[in-house]
A = this chain, B = another copy of it.
Amino acid sequence: MELPIKDTPSLALIQRGYGGAVDVEAISDCMQLLRLAKVLLGFFYARFAEHDISPGKYSVLMELLAQEEDESLSPSILAERIGVTRPTITGLIDGLVRQGFVLRRNLEQDRRGVAISLSDAGREFMRSFLPGQFDAMAGVVSALSAGQRQALRDALTTLEGSLR
């Protein structure tokens, strides 16, 4: 999964009269946010691709790993926790089963459902993948000073509130 990250020529079009009177500086700030959003997601998507997983598969593996070892989750619960639809979760599980990372078992007490759990191979994959992933996550903000990080937290909290 890749995200096109180039800027659109918004500022040039504003200068040519599209959009009426707008706060050009605010638009610039928004473009910088959008660009950072795409770069950041792209950075992690590229890491996932190197390990032959996708963002969706990563989320499934994380949710399953967070369970106790002998527990499973249903596709419906997984879909809800990850924020995708049930057809999508079926496809992600299909792929993870093919990769050998996940087991799909029929439920005895309710033949409509299936139980999804991590396989040993899946658990092992996550055990080896996660240290580098968490290092990469920690590394994202490591170039910022402590003051910048606090300022970023405050700003992002406000932004999230107004975008929801």
Which residues of A approach B to under 8 Å, CB–CB?
A: 3-6, 8-10, 12-14, 18-20, 22-23, 26-27, 29-41, 43-44, 55-56, 58-59, 62-63, 65-66, 81-84, 126-127, 130-131, 133-135, 137-144, 148-149, 151-164
Give 8 A-B pairs besides A9-B66, A23-B138 with Cβ atoms closer than 8 angstroms.
Answer: A10-B62, A10-B134, A19-B131, A29-B141, A30-B141, A144-B158, A144-B159, A151-B152
Given A6-B83, A152-B155, the answer on whether A137 and B26 have CB atoms closer than 8 Å is yes
Closest to A29 in B: B141
**Complex A-B, nearest 5 residue pairs according to Cβ-Cβ distance, in ascending order:** A37-B37, A19-B134, A151-B151, A4-B83, A8-B62
